A and B are shown apart, each in its own frame.
Chain A
Amino acid sequence: MNDNQLLLKVRDLKTYFFLEEGTVHAIDGADFDIRRGEAVGVVGESGCGKSVTGQSILRIVPNPGEVVEGEITFYRYEKRDDGTEVQEVVDLTALDPRGDEIRSIRGGEISMVFQEPMTSLSPVHTMGQQIMEAIILHQKVDEDEARRRAIEMLRRVGMPQPESTVDSYPHQLSGGMRQRGMIAMALSCSPSLLIADEPTTALDVTTEAQILQLMRDLQQDLGMAIMFITHDLGVIAEMTSRVVVMYMGKVVEGADVDTLFYDPKHPYTRALLNSIPRLGHDKSERLESIKGVVPDPYNLPPGCPFHPRCASFMPGVCNVEEVPNFVIEPGHTARCFLYAD
């Protein structure tokens, strides 16, 4: 497997919600790549469109939301009997969101772990029933075999007594155990991409550390790519090798982890990094919070959505023109006129 092989390419993605009060531009220009086996972090403040990005990839954006523009290219790799691999290219935005093709990708090749382990599992089905359903849907196995695999998967994610928890209902399990169950379900069909939408936000710190460790191990064992959605830069540093920063539905900067932390370019990324405490800094030094407020999603300012809060605001430029993506160096992009050449 070649590390540089593309798995997912997102270009100029736009997903809007058409509400009575107006149109919410939940995603308004997202560009990023995910390579095979790679862990990519997606960070940004609450409401910037991280979850909707995940939903757009799977084409499960809830009503009245719609992917209105852009491309999501998914590269499928299939092993032939003679050992060679064939590549197939699918544009996910072109698929019927209820059609067979996207449904075979959902849960089979791209799966998702959600933010809320408490409410993301059906309250009236056992853990086993919910995992087996995914297995039977995507693999040609009978019920007994599916159950065996579900138990095996639960064991793999560190669920205590998988033989009995397989028959437990979610309300009988702790938050951490439910999230392990969710992960088992998501990984049960060996997807090539796992979208993890803040999988540890609802958990306590100890459980969070265990789940993160587990996901790292599984990623290595199974060789899958992870799109790790979070607002926690610490988790990003720990879990991912590349990062995408989102602000108001736009990907404002993309770089590998080290570059992003040590040489951030976009003023928003800089502000975001300044707002987290760092080891080695003087404790008396005040943390800066980002000044200004997040703009009203129904009335986005023209130009760069960050300009009303930006320290390097250039009047007549930033508040006028739509900002394109500028390449700073290969693998490092920023949506900011400071880097126009």
Chain B
Amino acid sequence: MGGIREDMHLADYRKGVDMVPSRDGYGHGLLWLCEHDDRVVVCDADLAKSTRTIWVRDKFPEKHVDFGISEQDMLAEAGGMSRTGLVPFVTTYGVFVAGRAWDQVRTSICYGDLNVKIGGAHGGISVGPDGPTHQSLEEIPLMRVLPGMTLVVPTDAPECQKATIWAASHEGPVYLRFGREGVPVITTEETPFTVGRAEVYRDGDDVAIIACGPLVYEALVAADTLAKEGIDARVINCHTIKPMDVDTVVTAARECGAVVTAEEAQVYGGLGGAIAEVICQHCPVPMRIVGIEDTFGESGSPRELLDRYGMNSGNIIAKVKEVLKMKK
């Protein structure tokens, strides 16, 4: 029987978890960078408070630039600044950057390989009562298809902080996707984090659950329930969607023989799509995708929405049962 890997130094989530929004990790990461990296400049589009760039504005006002509500302009201007040696962290909600400013990200930033970091806030349906206009569900595919882009979906606030700090050290475009709501803190300072490397948090070889963002926690909870039924699930935190850790995914597919992915996003083209591409080409096994089934969300509380749109541990368990039947 497998189990949680000691060397991952996870928080003891079974005893209860702290709920912290991942955006806080982004804010703390920015503060650290402002103190340690002269090149960093934080760009904001009239959303300082909710994206946490206000922490920078308060403490390092000279490092904060507000563009007003002009996301497309901000993205291209960040590209301009990056050519002068600065490292801009451009911050707004996912819908407004990955969506509205996609062409600027594609042609000016990725095609031109400009050193721009993008903080995509308010990812996922857990944005809640603001409704579908603000619930970003499509950034993973939108950013993943761009050559040269690095795309990270941190699982919790500490991981988001590590990813933010890492981004400054990387040369080239980076997109960080994080959420609004408090989510379980499952990692610690000692938890390994390397961009481009998926971490196996729980050993098991009946089925592999590959998740990103807050659904890694749901996957761990699902695995605990499955264990009681004698099903041994491997749980993988696949925080880096691009570049994908092909080895870890293929190994999981080969050793477990069945895969379920889980993400707080559309089921098309996201983490599930990325994993399917790997599995189909390298080691075809039964697979299912947990996510939003090709629809927009609605207003409601985060918990209600995650349940209604099928992104809790129960939904993961149901998909695991499906792939296990196919596996036989």
Verify that A and B bind, or say they do not.
no
- A residues near B (Cβ < 8 Å) are none
